[in-house]
Amino acid sequence: MSHTLTHLKQLESEAIYIFREVAAQFERPAILFSGGKDSIVMVHLARKAFWPGKVPFPLIHIDTGHNFPEAIEYRDWMVKEFDLDLIVGSVQGSIDKGTAVEERGVNPSRNGLQAITLLETLEEYKVDAAFGGGRRDEEKARAKERFFSHRDEFGQWNPKNQRPELWSLYNGHYNEEEHFRIFPISNWTEMDVWQYIALEKIALPSIYFAHKRNIVERNGILLAESPWNTLLEGEKYEERLIRYRTLGDMTCTGAVSSDADDLTGIIQEVASSKVTERGNRSDDKRSEAAMEERKLQGYF
């Protein structure tokens, strides 16, 4: 009998080790949950890490109010299906109390405001370790993160102040008011995630599979019809067969033209794609360092 692990099982084992290490070192961990495929895989890994017990920490969803309805439906289904605890932080709540200011313009985005609500929620619930689904292959700023990523008393990240992680030893010591972001699937690629979802038969929101939707093409990005997108002069919505590779707000997440309506088709499509996973996110195109600027302020 062979005891050689596949690369997916090695990645799974590493992630489960991280989950258990955090449970041992920290008092109030939580999983940051967006409804996207990466955070869904994280919940699956957490369930495996503590099976047959219940996942011993809550999910935190930062609700911008501009979500895809499929993501919210999936979140509520999953919480009920797996008996999970859920905390919802509201960006609208931050706007109402004056700690966040709504953007103005044709298509105001609440994407950047999430960092404010996230930090307020982490402080309110005294979270000392927040699991995130960031992966090193997604974006250059995320490539600088380590598994245990320190945040200062203001929730800010300093990429030059990362602790060494030699021999799988992780330093979770923090001072009062500080916390850590934890990235169990940091070593995974987009392809690893899709192959693992297929291997484990993990349910996903329908938005990831090809479906017809009204979209408008703007600057090469296919934006879905929504109450928060305003058409510019000469623009009109048209029905297209599309799906999503990454999931954020309806105001900033672009779709891809696709007929991949099952996991086999998606894996083949990802393998042949010459565009990066986040190449259809308008929030990443605001500047060359858009992601790092948001992360420095406390973003996911």
- What does the pLDDT look like over 237-271, one tens digit per residue? 999 999 999 888 898 889 999 999 999 999 999 99
Residue pLDDT, tens place only, 47-87: 999 999 999 999 999 999 999 999 999 999 999 999 999 99
| 218 located within any domain | yes
Residue 42, pLDDT > 90, answer yes
DSSP E strands: which ranges in the chain? Answer: 29-32, 59-63, 86-90, 129-131, 148-151, 179-182, 211-218, 221-224, 238-243, 256-257
Main-chain dihedrals φ then ψ at residue 120, nearest 5 degrees: -65, -40
Residue 147, pLDDT > 70, answer yes
Same domain for 182 and 279, yes or no, is: no
Strand partners, 182: 131, 148
**What does the alpha-carbon distance between residue 45 and residue 61 come to, in Å, rounded to a whole number?**
18
**What's residue 121's pLDDT?**
96
Same domain for 165 and 249, yes or no, is: no
**What's residue 297's pLDDT?**
67
Cβ–Cβ < 8 Å for 178, 163: no
Task: List the one residue out of 238, 220, 198 whose CA is nearest residue 284.
Answer: 220
Residue 152, pLDDT > 60, answer yes
Environment class of residue 149 by beta-carbon count within 10 Å: exposed (0-12), middle (13-18) or buried (19+)?
Answer: buried
Helix (H, G, I), strand (E, B) or coil at 92: helix
Residue 286, pLDDT > 60, answer no
Strand partners, 212: 241
Q: What is the mean pLDDT of the chain?
A: 90
**What's residue 289's pLDDT?**
62
Same domain for 183 and 206, yes or no, is: no
Cβ–Cβ < 8 Å for 29, 57: yes
Helix (H, G, I), strand (E, B) or coil at 244: coil
Same domain for 72 and 220, yes or no, is: no
Higher pLDDT, 282 or 46: 46
Strand partners, 242: 211, 257
Q: Which of 136-145, 184-193, 280-289 has the lowest mean pLDDT?
A: 280-289
Domain CATH for 95: 3.40.50.620
| 173 located within any domain | yes
Same domain for 186 and 229, yes or no, is: no
Same domain for 141 and 226, yes or no, is: no
| 1 located within any domain | no
Cβ–Cβ < 8 Å for 295, 129: no
| Residues 6 or more apart in contact with residue 83 via CB below 8 angstroms | 54
Counted domains in the chain: 2
Q: Which domain does 213 fall in, by range?
A: 202-285
**What's residue 2's pLDDT?**
64
| 90 located within any domain | yes
Q: What's the start-to-end Cα distance of the chain, in Å?
A: 43
**What does the alpha-carbon distance between residue 169 and residue 148 come to, in Å, rounded to a whole number?**
10
Whole-prediction pTM value? Answer: 0.90
**What's residue 16's pLDDT?**
98
Same domain for 211 and 119, yes or no, is: no
Q: Compute the average pLDDT of residues 151-168.
A: 88
| 35 located within any domain | yes
Q: Compute the average pLDDT of residues 268-290.
A: 70
| 103 located within any domain | yes
Same domain for 95 and 168, yes or no, is: yes
**What's residue 112's pLDDT?**
81
**What's residue 237's pLDDT?**
94
